[in-house]
Amino acid sequence: MKLTRDYFKASNLTFRYGLTPIQLSVYCYLVSCAGSADYCFPSVKTIALYCNCSESSARKAVRRLDELGLIRCEAQYRENRYGAAEQTSNRYYILPPPRYFHNGEPVHEELP
């Protein structure tokens, strides 16, 4: 099957991380949003809507995916009309999944 804009590709390694259904859904949604880019920037509200979960569950899932090294979450800011920095949506970088584990946690480099 040829991948088109209606499909996305995720690593089989994703199943090694013991993700909850919500965490897996959020990860797949972020990968889908990123498409051929390595990042995307949906709001937490949008993530929750498309993953059929609460905003707090979406935040927890994002935090866990970040801890596991599957994504990197980076806050984005813009200047408001008063000149103060104001946070906008986060930017989510999709990272290559770690292949190796040590004490049940993924590591990004080969173990000795």
Residue 81 pLDDT > 80, yes or no?
yes
Pick the CATH number of 17-95 from 3.30.70.100, 3.90.700.10, 2.40.160.20, 1.10.10.10: 1.10.10.10
- pLDDT at position 1 is 43
The model's pTM:
0.82
- pLDDT at position 61 is 98
Instruction: Note whether 47 and 26 are within 8 A (CB).
Output: yes
Please report, rounded to a whole number, the percentage of residues in the chain having pLDDT higher than 70: 84
- pLDDT at position 111 is 46
The model's pLDDT over 32-59, given as tens digits with 9 standing for 90+, comes to 999 888 999 999 999 999 999 999 999 9
Least confident of 7-16, 39-48, 55-64, 86-95: 7-16
The ranges assigned to domains in the chain are 17-95
